[in-house]
Amino acid sequence: MLFVNFFSVIFLCVFYTVCNGKIITGLPGLESQVSFKQYADYIVVNETHDRRLFYWFIESQSEPQNDPVVLWLNGGPGCSSFGGLLGEMGPFYVLPNTTLGINKYSWNKIANMIFLESPAGVGFSKSNIAQDYVTGDEQTASDSLEFLLNFFKLFPQFKDNEFWITGESYAGHYIPTLTAKIVEHNSKTAENKINLKGLMIGNPLTYLTINNGGVTDYIYSHNLIANETYQGLKKYCNYTFPSDSASGTTYNKAMCDEFSVASTTEMGPLNPYDIYVDVCLQGKSSKDAIALLSSLASSDLPGSVFASQRLRHLEEHAIEQGKLGSPYFPCQESYTSKYLNDPLVQRAIHADPTKWTDCNDFINQKYSRDDFAQSMLPIYKHSILNQGLNVLIYSGDVDSVVPATATRRCIQELGLTIKSKWQHWTDSKKQIGGYTEEYAGLTYATVRNAGHEVPSFQPMRAYDMFSRFLKSNHVVVK
């Protein structure tokens, strides 16, 4: 009996020494206790370079042992998923006084949520080799796969749970490329398979050429630019779609640049995340949409002048996202940044002392421009739609950065058979939540009156959509 007790003590000490390195026992600014467990720590994905990705894992409020494990990825490229955690669908949001409020529409009500800072250099993630911060889609996906394999070794009790990948914006690249890596990995091994069930991606950058044309159509159809400007953009910028047979357009850089400048002047300093909300007059934002514009503006890709002009307006007028119908605030990012830079908070989540930023400008500027312009449609065709996965692509319908017009054209390019025709879906308050259409292998949905970061602008509708698709593979209640 004495031996058994002594062995148990030794086992528990060893076990909790391991766990204490990652379990979160308390969070500064959180006044009430929570019923779910949280963990945060680094996972090494390359031992030679000591390349480590930082994560925050939050167990489900329902049945963590049975509920799906859901990975969330913000985009950029170069933006931290902790922006999603503390400003979109996580259990907490940061108040103006940097205390934490409770989000009643948190996705961890029904799912175990992993928020991953990727690639290395984003947020608290890091490497000992500076060259690792010059990266692209291939390395990002490989590191994320290595992270997941090591994560499920640390948390083997979740290995057989359904696994989903979710995200938004440039995660329109992160998620398809990671999915392809997981599919390849699962095909090669009988052990350590990842139980991938499905994907959900919001306002995804899928193919830059289509996106540029979709933006042009969107800003014109929403009365933001003049007829002449719209016609000039269509004629000279050659934002044509692959399926267009004879568009009659010819790329003329000088004229395209001229009409791009005119379009940004006509649009004025509105919020590109959500064209109908007011703007924050305190500081400026650097979240996903801004990072996307920054990547494009610094390149010689078509649309760079338009992007640089939009950035100039944003910087001059100190615009940050505003939010409607949610518990969050127009200047949310500044509160989140202040909170995560508090040494007490960094100690509580086991992060190394770091100057945390929501988006890493260096990584954004150095990220592969070839990858940025690459179409993800072939990956959908060859590695996703033929794998029996549940796929939801959704659009906040008032986002002008990756608008619904672009995403719908991308889906059109896939040539999928329609299984359930276009219809509205209602939210939990019996209002129209948006519209949806189901295809063979993929569901598309819009979220009404939601901007680029859907859960920020419409948390209830985002939760309704997420929970329904997670449980039934449908957005419409059957």
Condensed to tens digits (0 to 9), the pLDDT of residues 58-71 reads 999 999 999 999 99
pLDDT at 51: 96
pLDDT at 392: 98
Are 167 and 179 spatial neighbours (Cβ–Cβ below 8 Å)?
no
Q: What gap in Å lies between CA 35 and CA 135, rounded to an integer?
A: 39
Q: Give exposure, 210-242, as e/b (b: 16+ Cβ within 10 Å).
A: bbbbbbbbbbbeeebbeeebbebbbbbbbbbbe
* Sign, CA torsion 467/468/473/476: negative
Q: What gap in Å lies between CA 400 and CA 286, rounded to an integer?
A: 16
pLDDT at 245: 43
Q: What gap in Å lies between CA 404 and CA 454, rounded to an integer?
A: 12
Q: Give exposure, 85-101, as e/b (b: 16+ Cβ within 10 Å).
A: bbbbbbbbbbbeebebb
How much is the average pLDDT of 348-376? 94
Residue type, 90: G
Q: In what order do the strands lie in the sheet with 112-117?
A: 38-46, 51-58, 112-117, 69-73, 163-168, 196-202, 390-396, 442-447, 432-439, 418-426
Q: Which of 223-237, 271-285, 295-309, 317-331 has the highest mean pLDDT?
A: 223-237
Q: Which phi and psi angles does 345 have, rounded to 5°?
A: -70, -45
Q: What gap in Å lies between CA 111 and CA 347, rounded to an integer?
A: 26
Instruction: Answer whether residue 298 shows pLDDT above 70.
Output: no
pLDDT at 324: 41
Residue 436 tokens, joined: 């949806």
Instruction: Answer whether residue 303 shows pLDDT above 70.
Output: no
pLDDT at 281: 58
pLDDT at 295: 61
Which of the residues 137, 288, 358, 399 is marked catalytic? 399
Query: By mean pLDDT, which of 271-275, 298-302, 373-377 is the weakest?
Result: 298-302
pLDDT at 231: 93
Nearest to 169 by CA among 16, 416, 394: 394
| Global pTM value | 0.88
pLDDT at 251: 76
pLDDT at 309: 55
pLDDT at 270: 82
pLDDT at 21: 47
Residue spans per domain, the chain:
208-326
Are 391 and 443 spatial neighbours (Cβ–Cβ below 8 Å)?
yes
Nearest to 283 by CA among 230, 226, 336, 204: 336
pLDDT at 24: 95
pLDDT at 297: 58
Q: What gap in Å lies between CA 95 and CA 87, rounded to an integer?
A: 10
Q: What gap in Å lies between CA 429 and CA 4, rounded to an integer?
A: 56
- Three-state DSSP at 51 gives strand
pLDDT at 364: 92
Query: By mean pLDDT, which of 19-28, 65-74, 82-91, 463-472 is the weakest?
Result: 19-28
Is 169 in the active site? yes
Nearest to 206 by CA among 72, 83, 379: 379
Which of the residues 169, 285, 337, 456 is marked catalytic? 169
Residue 271 tokens, joined: 């919020």
In eight-state DSSP terms, residue 126 is B
- The residue with greater pLDDT, 190 or 354, is 354
In eight-state DSSP terms, residue 9 is H
Is 243 in the active site? no
How does residue 31 score in pLDDT terms, banded at 50, 70 and 90?
confident
pLDDT at 300: 56
How much is the average pLDDT of 115-132? 96
Query: In the chain, what's the furthest Cα-to-Cα distance?
Result: 88
* Sign, CA torsion 130/131/135/141: negative
Is 317 in the active site? no
- The residue with greater pLDDT, 304 or 336, is 336
Question: In this predicted model, what pLDDT tens digit does every residue of 140-170 receive, in sequence order?
Answer: 999 999 999 999 999 999 999 999 999 999 9
Half-sphere exposure in the Cβ direction for 370 (13 Å, CA): 4
How much is the average pLDDT of 80-91? 95
Residue 264 tokens, joined: 């940004």
In eight-state DSSP terms, residue 65 is T
Distance between alpha carbon 326 and the CA centroid of its chain, in Å?
18
Query: By mean pLDDT, which of 6-15, 110-119, 150-159, 359-368 is the weakest?
Result: 6-15
User: What's the first-to-final CA gap in the chain, in angstroms?
Assistant: 57
Which of the residues 118, 173, 452, 456 is marked catalytic? 452
pLDDT at 269: 82
Residue 257 tokens, joined: 């640049």
pLDDT at 12: 38
Query: By mean pLDDT, which of 5-14, 34-43, 185-194, 383-392 is the weakest?
Result: 5-14
Angle, CA 423 vertex, CA 75 and CA 207 arms, to 5°? 30
